[in-house]
């Protein structure tokens, strides 16, 4: 059974606010690529955005801070974090 390296963490994020129709997913994708974060981002039917992010703790903390800011036309009200112990390994970051 293979597990992630100790310094690699995975977090499931739910982002609420004005986060659809404002380029939010593309913003998240760019931040992930710049920081070497793996995973995905997705619009939810209820207007929220969900993301799954995997990377080193310091990179994830910077990524989460950027997501909380959001792009200029967005308004992030809340970002809930759920740290995941066992997660599949991702090999890139994509919009799904």
CB neighbour list of residue 95: distance below 8 Å, 6 or more residues apart: 25, 26, 29, 40, 41, 42
Four-CA torsion 24, 57, 12, 45, nearest 10 degrees? 0
User: Of the listed 8, 12, 42, 43, which one is catalytic?
Assistant: 43
Active site residue 43: yes
Active site residue 25: yes
The SS3 of residue 58 is helix
User: Of the listed 25, 30, 62, 82, which one is catalytic?
Assistant: 25
Enumerate the active-site residues: 25, 43
């Amino acid at each position: 059974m293979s597990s992630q390296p100790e310094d690699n963490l995975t977090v499931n994020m739910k982002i609420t606010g004005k986060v659809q129709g404002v380029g939010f997913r593309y913003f998240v994708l760019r931040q992930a690529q710049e920081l070497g974060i793996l995973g995905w981002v997705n619009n939810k039917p209820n207007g929220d955005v969900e993301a799954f992010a995997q990377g080193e703790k310091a990179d994830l903390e910077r990524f989460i801070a950027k997501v909380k800011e959001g792009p200029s036309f967005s308004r992030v009200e809340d970002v809930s974090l759920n740290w995941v112990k066992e997660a599949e390994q991702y090999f890139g970051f994509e919009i799904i």
